[in-house]
Amino acid sequence: MAVASAPKTWGNYIGGEWVASESGKTFESRSPSNTNDLIGEFAASTKADVEAAIQAATDAAPKWRDTNVVARSVILLKAAEILASRQNEIGRELAREEGKTLKEGIGETGRAIQILRYYAGEAQQPNGEHYPSMNLDTLLYTTREPLGVVGVITPWNFPIAIPAWKIAPALAFGNTVVFKPASATPLLAARFVDALHEAGLPAGVLNMVTGSASVVGDPIVEDDRIAAISFTGSGEVGRKMSVTAAKRGAKIQLELGGQNPAIVLADADMNHALQHVMTGAMWSTGQKCTATSRAIVHRSIVDEFTSKLLEKIEGLNVGDPLDEATHLGPVISAEAADNVVAGADRAKQEGNELLIGGGRLTDDGREHGFFVAPTLFANVDPSTHLGQEEIFGPIMGVIPVDDIDEAIAIANSVKYGLAASIFTRDLGRALHFAKKIQAGIVHINSETPGAEPQVPFGGYKGSSSYSREQGKSARDFYTQVKTVYIDPPPAS
């Protein structure tokens, strides 16, 4: 397993400078593949650090909102070029810090670059509408204006892409930002912020504070100077935040968990469906909010499908994410590994049939990491924990069904509604599914995780807060509407 090269101590980024925490303390980021691999040390911030960041963002807000959009776009494009020049290196750091494979780490860094470029363009798109007025002489139009200071709180599972898809539009549309990244992946957050710093972002426009969720996160959500909060993470934390935000009338956007179904009908291309169900469930070690957790398969093909899926899963290599032969790296933490094992144990107790996996992997150089075996259950009862809850790891179940309506009913039976797939050659059934499925992102003949940055992203039900991120939806969140009536002065 790879070992760290020259770990560095990072401060907070406040008012355009990297500064140590007022506490003088740091916390470590270590690789989930090998806890001997120290990635870096990061500021263990205090409330005073958060206060400094919020004040810096507040002070910078008036000038940034009045900076013309072309100048803002140029900075985003420059940051994209800086990241692009280091994409492989940063992708490697991502694989070390988060645990996804090197290919996925480089790919995710590419996604952050693509998002910066997209919002550099999107910033220059029309920013309002012109309406006819009842009064023929009135010029009546709307314009969208920045909210002011926004708080951005992100999870560890897409440690550079999620900060990018929140921060790039926030800046593009004229807001300043206070950013708290996940404590498990602060290096990738720092790389993103540093690229914007190098690109010439003015001091105070973006501020990053690292450290404990309660010490750093809570004051961001509670502070009246923060007009809006964009949060991605677990449902429990998100909903608690939305209560705090609602009490003070702040705007909030939540992107939460998923329990995503892939329906496979009898007429599907079997090999295509198998590949997409497997990669949808297992890539990134199953730690995507859009990962496939349930394959809901027509009873006439379920035995063949399940045995071929088992063969594919048996062929997966779990190990060092930097090794090109590896398909799955570790999960993020010991707690996450225990959670997968507990989920598998409970699935067995509830009568589901374990075909492979269900435990930790601690041999062959994996003794210092958080590796779990890819896990497949058959004949899953959809009402059990495995059929209902997000376990967030390389674990999935196959559920047999008799027809498409039963499949859709089971797919919709969970509290989540993020992504869903169907595999079929029948256009009528595909359209029926697209209409009836309760999910924000629908795939016909492709895996549940695919998401492009130019279109809205978000879920139904417990997966979201009825808001959407990315694409043009980001403008809706990061701006507010002003309606302007212009009447000519009376003729003198």
Active-site amino acid positions? 255, 289
Query: Which residue reads 């992504």 in tokens?
Result: 419
Nearer to ligand NAP, 82 or 94 (CB): 94
What does the alpha-carbon distance between residue 45 and residue 24 come to, in Å, rounded to a whole number?
8
Phi, psi of 285 (to 5 degrees): 55, 30
- The interface mask with ligand NAP, positions 408-427, x = CB under 6 A, is ----------x---------
For ligand NAP, the closer of residues 23 and 67 by Cβ is 23
Taking the complex as a whole, the smallest distance from the CB of residue 217 to ligand NAP amounts, in Å, to 2
252 three-state secondary structure: strand
Nearer to ligand NAP, 258 or 400 (CB): 258
Contact pick of 305, 392, 433, 478 for ligand NAP (by CB under 6 A): 392
CA 196 remoteness from chain centre = 20
Q: By C-beta, is 83 or 153 nearer to ligand NAP?
A: 153
Question: What end-to-end distance do the CA atoms of the chain give, in Å?
Answer: 83
Strands (DSSP E) contained in 216-304 are: 226-232, 251-255, 260-264, 292-298
Give the residue carrying structure tokens 């007025």: 133
**Chain centre distance of CA 323:** 25
CB of 256 to ligand NAP, least distance (A): 5
CB of 56 to ligand NAP, least distance (A): 19
Nearer to ligand NAP, 32 or 174 (CB): 32
The footprint of ligand NAP on this chain (CB under 6 A) covers a number of residues equal to 29
Residues 398 and 380 sit within 8 Å (Cβ to Cβ): yes
Question: Tell me, what amino acid is at 271?
Answer: N
Distance CA 341, CA 344 (A): 5
230 binds ligand NAP (CB under 6 A): no
**Shortest distance, position 236 Cβ to ligand NAP, whole Å:** 7
| Min CB(272)–ligand NAP separation in Å | 26
Residue nearest to ligand NAP (CB): 217
| Residue placing its CB nearer to ligand NAP in the complex, 190 or 378 | 190
* Range 156-195, binding ligand NAP (CB under 6 A): 156-158, 180, 182-184
Q: Name the minimum Å distance from CB 258 to ligand NAP.
A: 6
Beta carbon of residue 225, minimum distance to ligand NAP (angstroms, whole number): 16
Q: Are strands 292-298 and 395-401 parallel, antiparallel or unpaired?
A: parallel
Query: What element of type H or E holds 190?
Result: helix 186-198
Question: Residue from 233, 417, 462, 471 that binds ligand NAP (CB under 6 A)?
Answer: 233
Does position 289 bind ligand NAP by CB under 6 A?
yes
Give the binding range for ligand NAP (CB under 6 A) out of 48-56, 59-67, 211-219, 426-434: 211-219
Under the binding rule (CB under 6 A), the answer on residue 154 touching ligand NAP is yes
Sign of CA dihedral 368, 370, 374, 380: positive
Structure tokens of 46? 């205090």
Cβ atoms of 302 and 319 closer than 8 Å: no
* 258 sits near ligand NAP (criterion: CB under 6 A): yes
Instruction: Pick between residue 251 and residue 312 the one whose CB is nearest to ligand NAP.
Output: 251
* CA–CA dist 171, 197 (Å, integer): 13
Distance (Å, rounded) from C-alpha 292 to C-alpha 11? 37
Instruction: Please report whether residue 256 would count as binding ligand NAP according to CB under 6 A.
Output: yes
Q: Interface mask (CB under 6 A) for ligand NAP, residues 73-112, using x and -? A: ----------------------------------------
CA distance 361 to 370: 8
Amino acid, res. 426: D
Does 43 engage in binding with ligand NAP (CB under 6 A)?
no
Contact 28, 62 (CB under 8 A): no
Taking the complex as a whole, the smallest distance from the CB of residue 211 to ligand NAP amounts, in Å, to: 7
DSSP assignment of 466-489 equals S--BSTTHHHHHHEEEEEEEE-PP
Considering only residues 43, 75, 153, 407, which one is a binding residue for ligand NAP as defined by CB under 6 A? 153
CB of 392 to ligand NAP, least distance (A): 5
Distance between CA 298 and CA 331 in Å, rounded?
Answer: 31
Beta carbon nearer to ligand NAP, 204 or 257: 257
Q: Which of residues 454-483 bind ligand NAP (CB under 6 A)?
A: 463
d(CA 37, CA 368): 9
**Residues forming the site for ligand NAP (CB under 6 A):** 153-158, 180, 182-184, 212-214, 217-218, 221, 232-234, 237, 255-258, 289, 390, 392, 418, 463
